[in-house]
Structure 1
Amino acid sequence: MRLLLVRHGQSEWNAARRLQGQADIGLSELGKSQADTLRPVIEGIAPCRTVASDLKRVRQTSQHLGVDTPRLSKGLREIDVGDWTGRAIADIRKEDEEGYQGWRAGTAVPPGGEPWSDFADRVSAAIEDERREPCTNLLVVCHGGVIRALLQRYVGLQPAHIIPVAPASLTALRLGNGKSPRIELFNYRPDDLDFGAPD
């Protein structure tokens, strides 16, 4: 099975550099355009089915990718950032740079937030549920943290060693066939590179 992991397009809070976690924020106009740009790539691969986070920014991205009725999963929601929800990243870093960097590395938890290990367990369980049904190319429309968690669980990349996942980018993992899981593609966008993606 190949996992086609797509992060949602830029959201209104991504544009404002605010942490979202599980807040239900919609796409910005740029985010919609980013997803539209990725659509021909996804259509060319022709996924056998699609599973997606149930949050608005992901549902909207799915629609712009041409998927009107994905299977929705709460298990694929972004990590809960607790008291940091809605806060400007710059303000969090000014108050607690060490805590912020620890959170990015998966070693610290925001006040009231979800521990990285619990998050990774939740996300990988959702994918393992999907793997019970045969599918060559499974499209997973989700969040940057979800993709980073799956890279950790399947190929051993620790969060501290993974750059933020770009909005409306495609990452592909190959699972099964008697071989170790492999990364086939990371952070692909058909129109440009994005080395400064938002959290």
Structure 2
Amino acid sequence: MRLLLVRHGQSEWNASRRLQGQADIGLSERGRSQADALQSVITGIGHCRAVSSDLRRVSETAQRIGAEKPRFTEDLREIDVGDWTGRPIDDIRAEDEAAYLGWRAGTFVPPGGEDWAPFADRVCAVIEDELRNSCQNLLVVCHGGVIRAILQRYLGLAPACVIPVAPASLSALRMGNGKLPRLELFNYLPDSLEFGAPD
């Protein structure tokens, strides 16, 4: 099975560089355009099933890229950032750079936030459930942290070693067939490269 991992397009809060966590923020105009640009790529690859976070920025992305009847689940929501929800990233970094970098590495929990390990467990429980049913290309429409949790669990890549996942980008993992999971694609965008993606 191949996991086709798509991060949602740019949200209104991505555009203003504010942390979202589980806040239900919609796509920006640019985010809608990004998702629309990815649609032909997803259609060209094809998928047998789709599963998606239930938050608006993701469900709208799923619809725009052509996900067919996705199963929506709160277990694919982004990690909860607690008291950092809605705060500008630059303010958090100015206040405590080490805490911010620790959060990015999965080793620091903002006040009222979610620990990395339980977060990764809930995300990967969805993937494990999907892996039980035969499917060539499983489309997973989700969040950047969710993709990093999947990369950690199946490839052993620590969150600190993974750059931010670009909005409306495609990553792919080849799973099963008696082989170790393999990264086939990361941060693919149909019309540009992205090296400075937002958290």
TM over 0.5: yes
Instruction: State the alpha-carbon separation in 2 of the partners of residues 39 and 151 from structure 1.
Output: 23
Q: Specify every segment of 5 or more residues in structure 2 that has no aligned partner in the other structure, as ranges.
A: none
TM superposition score normalised by structure 2: 0.99
2:165/2:197 contact within 8 Å kept = yes
2:105/2:159 contact within 8 Å kept = yes
2:49/2:68 contact within 8 Å kept = no
Q: Specify every segment of 5 or more residues in structure 1 that has no aligned partner in the other structure, as ranges.
A: none
Q: Is 2:71 aligned against 1:71?
A: yes
How far did residue 68 of structure 1 move?
Answer: 5.5
Indicate the residue corresponding to 2:6 in structure 1. 6
Read off the aligned partner of 2:170 and give its amino acid letter: L
Could you say what secondary structure the match of 2:180 adopts? coil
What are the within-5 Å matches in structure 2 for residues 110-125 of structure 1?
110-125=110-125
Instruction: State the alpha-carbon separation in 2 of the partners of residues 126 and 62 from structure 1.
Output: 17
How far did residue 69 of structure 1 move?
Answer: 2.7
TM superposition score normalised by structure 1: 0.99
Indicate the residue corresponding to 2:106 in structure 1. 106
Could you say what secondary structure the match of 2:96 adopts? helix
Compare 139-148 and 63-72 and name the one that shifted more.
Answer: 63-72
Read off the aligned partner of 2:132 and give its amino acid letter: R
Runs of 4 or more off by more than 4 Å in structure 1? none
Percent of aligned positions that are identical: 74
Read off the aligned partner of 1:39 and give its amino acid letter: Q
Superimposed CA distance per residue, residues 111-156 of structure 1 (whole angstroms, 9 cap, x where no aligned partner) = 0100111111110011111111111100000000000000000000
Indicate the residue corresponding to 1:192 in structure 2. 192
How far did residue 165 of structure 1 move?
Answer: 0.1
- Count residues in correspondence: 199
Read off the aligned partner of 2:152 and give its amino acid letter: Q
Could you say what secondary structure the match of 1:165 adopts? coil
Instruction: State the alpha-carbon separation in 2 of the partners of residues 130 and 177 from structure 1.
Output: 15
Instruction: State the alpha-carbon separation in 1 of the partners of residues 26 and 69 from structure 2.
Output: 17
Could you say what secondary structure the match of 1:173 adopts? strand
Instruction: State the alpha-carbon separation in 1 of the partners of residues 55 and 89 from structure 2.
Output: 21
Read off the aligned partner of 1:61 and give its amino acid letter: T
